[in-house]
Amino acid sequence: MLVSNVSNKRDAAMDPHKQFCHNKGCRAYGRKGEGHVLIHSQKERRYRCKRCGRTFTETKGTALYRIHKPKWLVIAVLTLLAYGCPVQAIVAAFGLEERTVARWQREAGFQCRLLHEHLVEAGRVLLLQVQADEIRVKAVGAIYWLASALEVRSRLWLGGVVSAHRDRELIRGLLWRVRACGSVEKVLLVTATGSQATPARP
C-alpha cells in the first residue's frame, strides 16, 4: 500500500523560498528564504540562484540526488532498509542490483549524518541526563562495537560511534558527539556486551 500510495501521489509544488544556493563560492550560499532563488524549470524541477546564476535540481543535497529511478521506489527501499528488511528480499521484490541498493543506503546514511550534525549536534539540546550504551555487533567475519547515546527525558538519540575496537577512543568519540549536542550536567553510563548486561558503575 505504501508503494502504490506514494507512486500515485503527484510531486509537491516547487517552492523557491525553501531552497538555498548550493554554490559555496556564492554570497547567497546556504541562505534560505531571502529571495535569492527562483524557479528555473518546472519541467526539469530546477532552481536558479539570482546571485551567481547557477542552476540546481531540487534533489541537490538530498539522498535522491542523481538517482535515476522513481522517487517512490527509492523511498520504499530506504523505508524497508530502515525497518531491517534484508537486502536480498528487496533485490528480489523490486528487481534491483544489490550494489544499487547498497549505494542508496550509503547515500541516505550520509545525508542522515549531515542532517544529524546540523540539527542535533548544534549545541542546542538540553542535556539533563544522557544514557550511553555499548553494544557488540556481529558481522560476517568481524566483530564491531557500537557506542550510542540518548537524552533520557526526551529520548532524543544524540549519536553513535562504530569501531572494531572496544577501547577508550570509542567512548571518547561518543562523548565528543554528546558534547556537541549541548552542555552536560550529569552522565549515566550503562554498558552491555551482547545479551549480558554488566551493572552500571558510578
Question: Where on the chain is the footprint of Zn ion (CB under 5 A)?
Answer: 21, 23, 26, 28, 49, 51-52
**Pick 28 or 120: Cβ nearer Zn ion:** 28
Name the minimum Å distance from CB 53 to Zn ion. 7
Name the minimum Å distance from CB 44 to Zn ion. 18
**From edge to edge, which strands make up the β-sheet containing 46-49?**
37-41, 46-49, 55-57
**Pick 52 or 96: Cβ nearer Zn ion:** 52
Name the minimum Å distance from CB 62 to Zn ion. 18
**Pick 29 or 144: Cβ nearer Zn ion:** 29
**Pick 24 or 138: Cβ nearer Zn ion:** 24
Residues 6+ apart with CB under 8 A from 85: none
The three-point CA angle 168-151-111 to 5° equals 80
Instruction: Say if residues 172 and 189 touch (Cβ distance below 8 Å).
Output: no
Name the minimum Å distance from CB 110 to Zn ion. 23
**Pick 28 or 125: Cβ nearer Zn ion:** 28
Name the minimum Å distance from CB 21 to Zn ion. 3
